[in-house]
């Protein structure tokens, strides 16, 4: 009876290794997808202008892509576990809208602020917006699988409406447009380093992964096991909100990553955060990298915003996931066919 279990674990390990290998190969390939053709031999020259282009633009862009995919996927995974709903994410939880609202207030009240100053505003309002959203859903009597994300979408639209109104009133629409649509074309050395905050936040999420699992089972269950429910809940939400805000400040709004990636990984590896977090991070980075490469190659030498590519792919996958969850619930797909197609 242990052979199928060992075989399943080996299959999952092979899947993780394959994700990492594919991510590594595509990362190297993406460095050479650009209008300016660069030969590998030119990069070996210390004083080469092409090497300087790599250092200033291409390498920071690749690192920003990897941090964005990893961070947004993990943020979505945390929010789904804590809210006990597979359709909650920074997009459907009003976190992205709140971060954009914070950036607008920074532009209004501190127009000469640096990127770090705007990031502080974004952090504060992203955390507050996420906390308010969870406060709303905790007071919903019937927490339907679709009702919870609908509340988040409506709340996010309210915040987005206020943001757009203030932007039009004070003629800040053009200044705010950079953060309304996600793109990596403006990522350069010296103005993307904030996104590195996702790395320690993801590590912190991994350390508290077991606590997030327990809190996701309910308040009474957590208290019976001696886990401080409110502390762990707000810690997890704060981690997710800060990851989202750091990405929005540098890249802009990118939807669906935190919604789709954790669901796809959970269909094969289950709902335990510690067991799925690494694969979620790898697949999230791979997903964003592939979408960015597609955006650069579709109308080469021009470039499509990654928000557009992720939105097209994400909307289709979102509908498919919705239909799957309504039909099968939270059942996972078995890799071992002898134990059944769906478990």
Q: Are 18 and 29 in contact (CB under 8 A)?
A: no
Q: What is the mean pLDDT of residues 264-268?
A: 83
Residue 124: pLDDT band with limits 50, 70, 90: very high
Bridge partners, 342 (sequence order): 333
Taking only the tens place, the pLDDT of each residue in 222-253 is: 888 888 888 999 999 999 999 999 999 988 88
CATH superfamily of 13-31+51-334: ABC transporter involved in vitamin B12 uptake, BtuC (1.10.3470.10)
User: Does residue 61 have a pLDDT over 70?
Assistant: yes
Contacting residues for 115 by C-beta, under 8 A, at least 6 apart: 191, 194, 249, 250
Domains of the chain by residue range: 13-31+51-334
pTM across the whole model: 0.86
Bridge partners, 333 (sequence order): 342
How many whole angstroms separate alpha carbon 209 and alpha carbon 22? 26
């Amino acid at each position: 009876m242990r052979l199928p279990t060992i075989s399943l674990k080996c299959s999952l390990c092979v899947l993780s290794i394959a994700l990492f290998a594919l991510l590594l190969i595509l990362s190297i390939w993406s460095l050479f997808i650009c209008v300016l053709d660069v030969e590998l031999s030119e990069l070996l020259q210390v004083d080469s202008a092409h090497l300087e282009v790599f250092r200033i633009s291409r390498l920071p862009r690749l690192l920003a892509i990897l941090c964005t995919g990893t961070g947004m996927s993990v943020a979505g995974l945390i929010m789904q576990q804590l809210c006990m709903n597979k359709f909650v994410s920074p997009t459907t939880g009003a976190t992205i809208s709140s971060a954009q609202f914070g950036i607008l207030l920074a532009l209004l009240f501190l127009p000469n602020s640096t990127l770090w100053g705007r990031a502080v505003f974004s952090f504060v309002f992203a955390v507050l917006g996420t906390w308010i959203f969870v406060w709303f859903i905790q007071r919903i009597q019937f927490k339907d699988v679709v009702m919870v994300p609908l509340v988040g979408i409506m709340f996010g639209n309210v915040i987005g409406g206020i943001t757009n109104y203030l932007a039009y009133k004070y003629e800040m629409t053009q200044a705010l447009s950079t953060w309304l649509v996600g793109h990596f074309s403006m990522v350069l050395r010296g103005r993307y380093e904030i996104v590195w905050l996702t790395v320690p936040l993801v590590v912190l999420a991994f350390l508290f992964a077991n606590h997030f699992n327990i809190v996701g089972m309910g308040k009474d269950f957590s208290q019976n096991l001696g886990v401080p429910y409110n502390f762990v809940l707000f810690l997890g939400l704060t981690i997710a909100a800060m990851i989202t805000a750091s990405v929005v400040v540098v890249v802009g709004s990118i939807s669906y990553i935190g919604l789709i990636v954790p669901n796809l990984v959970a269909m094969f590896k289950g709902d335990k955060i510690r067991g799925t977090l690494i694969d979620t991070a790898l697949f999230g980075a791979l997903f964003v990298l592939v979408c960015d490469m597609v955006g650069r190659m579709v109308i080469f030498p021009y470039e499509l915003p990654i928000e557009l590519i992720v939105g097209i792919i994400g909307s289709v996958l979102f509908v498919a996931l919705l239909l799957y969850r309504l039909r099968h619930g939270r059942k996972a797909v078995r890799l071992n066919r002898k134990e059944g197609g769906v478990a």
